Structure 1
């Protein structure tokens, strides 16, 4: 399990999306949609892409840093004094490879 206590911009970004997923009742799904950016969805992997809620785009550098600072499997990060626990897995979002963050 990765246990990170860090105030980096990428982890602050991830924390914001984890908060949204907790508020809205869905998973955070990160999918690369271009060389320069990743799209962030909040939803369920059983939903079609059209049924998922798009929550924005983040720069590829930020998304790749999130992936570098977390690990597959169970993670715990502390951002702004708040602890976030989640499982990081991989999935296929229609034809697009995606990383899924499941808050626990």
Structure 2
């Protein structure tokens, strides 16, 4: 956990690295009007793509990798549907 964010009562709370990483990829997806797609090709990392998950795999643009532990933390911290997480104010 490396960044801090204000809480409702004005105290500073640490923002988990997984949420910071997710926020960065979400910003890229918004900037590119594309979906984030994570695929696990090896035992240690997920490959992150931007594009249409219903389209051809060849049309996805690879934009990075995420260690499995970080990706699992992202998945455990979110759910299907709307998620509201304030990161960086």
TM-score exceeds 0.5: yes
State how 1:2-81 maps to structure 2 within 5 Å. 7-81=15-89
Deviation, 1:27, is: 0.5
Structure showing greater Rg = 2
Query: What's the TM-score, normalizing by structure 2?
Result: 0.80
> Segments of 4+ in structure 1 off by > 6 A?
none
**CA-atom RMSD, angstroms?**
1.4
Q: Which runs of 5+ in 1 are unaligned?
A: 82-104
> More strand by proportion, 1 or 2?
1
| CA apart distance, 1:14 | 0.3
The total of aligned residue pairs comes to: 77
TM-score, reference length from structure 1: 0.69
Aligned-partner Cα distance in 2 for 1:24–1:32: 22
Structure with the larger RCO, 1 or 2 (CA within 8 Å, 6+ apart): 1
Q: CA deviation at 1:46?
A: 2.5
Instruction: Give the unaligned 5+ runs of structure 2.
Output: 1-6, 8-13
